Amino acid sequence: MILALIGSRLGVLAAVVFPCVATLAFRALCLVVAPDFLNSAVGFNFSLSRWAEFAAGMLAAAIVSRALPEAFFRVLRPLKPFLPVMVVALLLLAWRIEFYEPSSVARIWAWGAVGAALLACSASLPLLERVLGWRPFTALGTVSYSLYLAHGAVYMAMALLLSRVEISRDLRQLIFLGLGPCFAITFSVLFFWVFERPFLKKPSAPSEHAAP
């Protein structure tokens, strides 16, 4: 259904609807297949907060930016008076979940500090700049926001599936750590092309009167 919407005037709206629908669908799947899984999956709420922040960001962009596709505004126009309230509600939901799980917040600051250090050093260390400029890393950087959004849901789905398989703990960990990044990157690339890329501003065509 989401893919069908992409080809229509409502396609861009899917980028806002999809995070909420995907989160609710995953929770429903857990309740049906493994109701005890949610009690041990502390990362689920962390993933939910990421999706809520994404939906809030997309709605905020619809309020302040006119660069997004016109169809997006046409669909949301009837809801325009309520958009700021929806943004605040989504952010409050996301931040309440984050601060309800202090360990998750600590991870955010820890990885954020590492990223900030790499960013600061890349301008002064030529070797680091060349390493980070390697084509696979730049390609990964292009889909980094989609990876940021998608990896939580992918790992949660893997944990759910592996919890239903009768294998040793060590083999489960090996599969989780070995295949998890591959699945997360693959899904994030698909997410980028289907949902994020339509919002990127396309380069304007060269003028007919431009000098040869």
pLDDT tens digit sequence for 158-178: 887 887 778 887 888 888 888
Helix ranges, the chain (H): 2-6, 14-33, 37-40, 43-64, 70-76, 83-100, 102-122, 126-132, 135-142, 144-163, 169-191
Q: Which amino acid is it at 47?
A: S
Integer Cα distance of 108 and 106 in angstroms:
5
- pLDDT (tens digit per residue) in 46-85: 566 666 666 666 666 666 655 555 655 566 667 667 767 7
The reported pTM is 0.47
Closest CA to 14 of 208, 200, 199, 210: 199
